[in-house]
Chain A
Amino acid sequence: MKILVLNYSVGNIYSISHALSRLGASVSVEKEISSREFDGLVMPGVGSFTSASEAISSYRGLLRDVILSGTPTLGICLGMQILFNSSDEGPGSGLDIFGGRVVSLPPTVKRPQMGWNRLLKTRYSPLLEGVEDAWVYFNHSYYPEPTDRSIVAAKTEYGVDIPSVISHRNIFGTQFHPEKSSKAGRQILQNFINQVRR
């Protein structure tokens, strides 16, 4: 069982790789996708939308195909945002896996949202098994507005209701950082690993 952590950006992917390894997953960090020889995909959450969009452009088709053909996929923060069409953060196209645009947090709150906030589950998702209204760590200025609201599995209040967890078949996304969210984060990553193991 191998999880590929896609290092499409310039920032910190150490934390997510270590967090998955500590839970017993076999992790491989790759700069791009060239084959399908892995069982789960994690898209980490660092960098800007535009830089991520540029980085994935050369293998965008294969990446879309991997995700849409059923590979358990977890997008974290920016890694979730890139699943949508476009972003207020800057030019570039997302993966168009989900319809919707990534927008800025409202000016009425401090941006970035930096710190611990609560998840409010809105429906069942295997990603959130054993996780009840937990505190999780956010660090972001943008959030996606899905066209299809039914993909939202948990929301978080910060000036507006942010979709903090999305869940659709094999595709999961968290606006927060499970790898930085202590106990609840460990449970969420364990749940994802369980999905990969199925």
Chain B
Amino acid sequence: MALAKRIIPCLDVRDGRVVKGRRFTDLVDAGDPSQLARRYSDEGADELVFLDITASLEKRKILVKVVRSVAAEIDIPFTVGGGIRSQEDAEIVLHNGADKVSINTAAVENPKLVQRLSEIYGSQCIVVAIDAKKDSSKPSGYHVYTHSGTKPSGLDALEWARKVDRLGAGEILLTSIDMDGTKDGYDIELTRTIASSVSIPVIASGGAGTPEHIYRVLAEGGADAALAASIFHFNEYPIQTVKNFLRERGVLVRS
């Protein structure tokens, strides 16, 4: 199998601007989404994820503008998520030029939404984001949280992952709540547990601090892609540096 492992920068967008910071605090303005998208695309990102954290009533209007301007600018795939609560929200994202839409809380509250969207748009457009936290009372050892990682859902992470696979999700964006923002490395065990048990690709997220972390989650965790934010934003490790690191260790990446 010759599919390359993907490196995916994640950009947080608030009120139509990219913001950088740690877990929704200390946010600084980092510029125009389409310009940053172009930069990452030129630097060799394989795909981009936009997480819209706009909370205003104007959210939809702002989102349409952002999605359109990014779609006009780049020629690599991009996913939009963050506060996608309904079929209508998802349609706004997909109709305005995003390749995929990522749903999280809404999928947990209404699993049929995953099924319906994948029937209409095809599985390849539908990403289910799963935020999981260590919990020894759950069979897999991980508990699914919703509402940006604040509310326990009661669901076991592995059972939920298998269910969204059956419902027609095309991909799982798997974030470790424990590791997110730490820069101490991904949760390898979580990633391996999910990636080895579903038939769809898994994007690992949460904890990237070094190229070694990315190598480990791809090689040992079995992730199909690695998502990271701050190590790319603050240019600690340019994308090509990460890719060279991976290539030297025998990981197939796009040149």
- Whether B122 and A46, one on each chain, are in contact in the complex, defined by CB atoms closer than 8 angstroms, is yes
Cβ-based interface call for B185 (8 A)? no
Cβ-based interface call for A38 (8 A)? no
Chain A residues in 8 Å Cβ range of B255: 135
- Interface flags for B66-87 (1: CB within 8 Å of A; 0: not) read 0010011001110000000000
Interchain Cβ contacts within 8 Å, total number: 106
Chain B residues in 8 Å Cβ range of A139: 77, 99, 124, 170
Write the nearest CB–CB distance from A21 to chain B, whole angstroms.
8
- Whether A135 and B124, one on each chain, are in contact in the complex, defined by CB atoms closer than 8 angstroms, is no
Interchain CA distance A11-B125 in the complex, whole Å: 9
- Whether A182 and B76, one on each chain, are in contact in the complex, defined by CB atoms closer than 8 angstroms, is yes
Write the nearest CB–CB distance from A188 to chain B, whole angstroms.
11
Cβ-based interface call for B46 (8 A)? yes
Secondary structure type dominating chain B contacts:
loop
- Whether B98 and A12, one on each chain, are in contact in the complex, defined by CB atoms closer than 8 angstroms, is yes
- Whether A111 and B76, one on each chain, are in contact in the complex, defined by CB atoms closer than 8 angstroms, is no
- Whether A15 and B71, one on each chain, are in contact in the complex, defined by CB atoms closer than 8 angstroms, is yes
Chain B residues in 8 Å Cβ range of A115: 3-6, 46-47, 201, 224-225
- Whether A11 and B4, one on each chain, are in contact in the complex, defined by CB atoms closer than 8 angstroms, is no
Interchain CA distance A113-B77 in the complex, whole Å: 14
- Whether B97 and A116, one on each chain, are in contact in the complex, defined by CB atoms closer than 8 angstroms, is no
Cβ-based interface call for B65 (8 A)? no
- Whether A12 and B94, one on each chain, are in contact in the complex, defined by CB atoms closer than 8 angstroms, is yes
- Whether A110 and B201, one on each chain, are in contact in the complex, defined by CB atoms closer than 8 angstroms, is yes
- Whether B96 and A14, one on each chain, are in contact in the complex, defined by CB atoms closer than 8 angstroms, is yes
- Whether B170 and A47, one on each chain, are in contact in the complex, defined by CB atoms closer than 8 angstroms, is no
Chain A residues in 8 Å Cβ range of B98: 12
- Whether B75 and A179, one on each chain, are in contact in the complex, defined by CB atoms closer than 8 angstroms, is yes
Write the nearest CB–CB distance from B45 to chain A, whole angstroms.
10
B121 to chain A: closest residue by CB: A11
Cβ-based interface call for B199 (8 A)? yes
Interchain CA distance A2-B195 in the complex, whole Å: 45
Cβ-based interface call for B120 (8 A)? yes
- Interface flags for B110-140 (1: CB within 8 Å of A; 0: not) read 0000000001111111000000000000000
- Whether B123 and A137, one on each chain, are in contact in the complex, defined by CB atoms closer than 8 angstroms, is no
Cβ-based interface call for A121 (8 A)? no
Chain B residues in 8 Å Cβ range of A156: 2
Chain B residues in 8 Å Cβ range of A14: 68, 71-72, 96-97
B171 to chain A: closest residue by CB: A114
- Whether A112 and B200, one on each chain, are in contact in the complex, defined by CB atoms closer than 8 angstroms, is yes
Chain A residues in 8 Å Cβ range of B230: none
Cβ-based interface call for A60 (8 A)? no
Write the nearest CB–CB distance from A70 to chain B, whole angstroms.
29
Interchain CA distance A177-B75 in the complex, whole Å: 10
- Whether B124 and A180, one on each chain, are in contact in the complex, defined by CB atoms closer than 8 angstroms, is no
Interchain CA distance A137-B41 in the complex, whole Å: 13
Cβ-based interface call for B163 (8 A)? no
- Whether A112 and B6, one on each chain, are in contact in the complex, defined by CB atoms closer than 8 angstroms, is no
Chain B residues in 8 Å Cβ range of A110: 199-201, 224
14 other A-B residue contacts (CB within 8 Å) besides A48-B119, A110-B224, A139-B124? A10-B120, A11-B94, A11-B95, A12-B98, A15-B99, A19-B75, A46-B122, A47-B121, A47-B122, A112-B171, A114-B224, A137-B76, A139-B77, A180-B75
The 4 closest A-B pairs by CB, nearest first: A14-B97, A116-B254, A135-B254, A116-B4
Residues of chain A touching chain B, judged by Cβ–Cβ distance below 8 Å, are: 10-12, 14-15, 18-19, 22, 46-48, 107, 109-118, 135, 137-141, 156-159, 177, 179-182, 185-186
Residues of chain B touching chain A, judged by Cβ–Cβ distance below 8 Å, are: 1-6, 41, 46-47, 68, 71-72, 75-77, 94-99, 119-125, 170-171, 199-201, 224-225, 254-255
Sample (6) of A-B pairs whose CB atoms are under 8 Å apart: A15-B99, A19-B75, A110-B201, A112-B123, A112-B201, A113-B3
